Structure 1
Amino acid sequence: MAKQLPYRAMHEIFTRFHAAAAEPKGELNHVNAYTLVVAVALSAQATDAGVNKATETLFQIADTPEKMLDLGEEGLIEHIKTIGLYRNKAKNVIKLSRILVEEYGGVVPSSRAALQSLPGVGRKTANVVLNMWWHYPAQAVDTHIFRVGNRTGIAPGKDVDAVERAIEDNVPAEFQLHAHHWLILHGRYTCVARKPKCPACLIRDLCPFEDKTVEPTPKRPRAKKGQDLT
């Protein structure tokens, strides 16, 4: 775990993230707050691409909790059975849809506590919805953000709660809204788990990670018979 970076380095890192992508977007497809809740709940232990493929037709016929209840658990399973843990996720989606209809008039609440009271919705899911739909500077820490936070010193912490607090405490205020997406996209495409793409990293010079990868040394071509390569 790297030490917490100083403010000046933090500000420069997020200035670069902003310059590269001023308005980063989440990659889960959705059409309203309800479908965002469902998509994020389905994405646990699954890829965004896999969820998007499964929900492409689902959200055309069930984009409200009322319509999802009409579809039913078995009907939902037919759409999401390519996603891991699909049976348990289907149960949770039906349960949360019923709660939304019976207790919230079919409207997704904008309170973290209320969101977390829904089946299958934990703090990370609630924070994603708060950030993406209501533009609240909530920090949803997944495996990518946990890795990037600790590897770079942007937000070191022993668990996801500690990393979340480190982001809230140390990322400059003007970058808080998009910090979640900058970090997750950086972890997904550049600061990957097994072999980070350090040569292509825009914050490489500010990152204290000791095991940086390097550009491979080009192979020297073999000399053909009678050819001088010196």
Structure 2
Amino acid sequence: MPRLSPIEAEEMFSRLRELNPHPTTELDYATPFELLVAVALSAQATDVGVNKATRKLFPVANTPQAIAALGVEGLKPYIATIGLFNTKAANVVALSQQLLERHGGEVPRDRAALEALPGVGRKTANVVLNTAFGEPTMAVDTHIFRVANRTGLAPGKDVRAVEDALLKAVPAEYLQDAHHWLILHGRYVCKARKPDCPHCAIRDLCRFTDKTPGEPEPVAA
């Protein structure tokens, strides 16, 4: 598949920014620690489902100290509606304890330190670095992987290859927010089973050969 040219990539993100000038995560959070917990809980779960759980959890426990005090059995009832909640409860309590023991209870602004936390992989670390600390990182989930490959923006066979390609392909001006634009585009427009190509703002730039047929509805005057 031919890649988008630098000029096309620039145009792509210009349009996405025009539609959504200030994109952000759909996970509810108020602090870096709340974001870290929410992202850790979001693996194989929807943001909506995670938000329902954290709306009950965070008023009771939203610091490493409070989560560690709850313990695994105390945490489970709050997140029992989320997939893999047993494993996630163990990881969230363990990462809370590690933050207390090694980082003074603060979420580190460092990739290696984040990835050393229980249950925290590269994608979670990238989300925290980008969304909580403003680092121009690229957290590649299934949505971003799909969009990067379908559009020709940054094709790759695995998530790391796509991440590396995106860091090269995305114009520097847009890199800070690109993660959010791409995930939202994949979630609501470039969907896995039936992409909404007729209403896609970047349809004419996209390299996807199996575009959904049809023309967009005319906009009412």
TM-score class, shorter-chain normalisation, is: over 0.9
1:116 alignment counterpart: 115
**3-state secondary structure, aligned to 1:188:** helix
Question: How many angstroms does 1:153 deviate by?
Answer: 0.5
Q: Distance in 2 between matches of 1:3 and 1:94?
A: 46
**Match runs of 1:197-216 below 5 Å:** 197-215=196-214
1:188 alignment counterpart: 187
Letter in 1 for 2:29: H
Letter in 2 for 1:58: L
Which TM-score applies when normalising by structure 2? 0.96
Is 2:99 the counterpart of 1:100? yes
1:43 alignment counterpart: 42
Question: How many angstroms does 1:7 deviate by?
Answer: 0.5
Is 2:54 the counterpart of 1:52? no
Question: How many angstroms does 1:208 deviate by?
Answer: 1.4
Q: Distance in 1 between matches of 2:97 and 2:208?
A: 47
Letter in 1 for 2:214: E
**3-state secondary structure, aligned to 2:30:** coil
Question: How many angstroms does 1:161 deviate by?
Answer: 0.5
**3-state secondary structure, aligned to 1:158:** coil
Kept after mapping to 2: 8 A contact 1:65/1:98: yes
Kept after mapping to 2: 8 A contact 1:31/1:63: no
Question: How many angstroms does 1:155 deviate by?
Answer: 1.2
2:5 alignment counterpart: 6
Is 2:40 the counterpart of 1:19? no
1:145 alignment counterpart: 144
Q: Distance in 1 between matches of 2:25 and 2:202?
A: 21
2:135 alignment counterpart: 136
2:218 alignment counterpart: none
The answer for unaligned runs of 5 or more in structure 1 is 217-230
Aligned length: 216
2:89 alignment counterpart: 90
Which TM-score applies when normalising by structure 1? 0.92
Q: Distance in 2 between matches of 1:17 and 1:90?
A: 36
2:219 alignment counterpart: none
1:169 alignment counterpart: 168
**3-state secondary structure, aligned to 1:3:** coil
**3-state secondary structure, aligned to 1:39:** helix
Q: Which runs of 4+ in 1 moved over 6 A?
A: none
Deviations 1:177-216 (A, max 9, x none): 0010000000000000011000000000111111111228
Q: Distance in 2 between matches of 1:108 and 1:59?
A: 16
1:222 alignment counterpart: none
Question: How many angstroms does 1:25 deviate by?
Answer: 1.1
- CA-atom RMSD, angstroms? 1.1
Kept after mapping to 2: 8 A contact 1:34/1:63: yes
Letter in 2 for 1:84: G
The answer for unaligned runs of 5 or more in structure 2 is 216-221
2:68 alignment counterpart: 69
Question: How many angstroms does 1:57 deviate by?
Answer: 1.3
Q: Distance in 1 between matches of 2:133 and 2:107?
A: 11
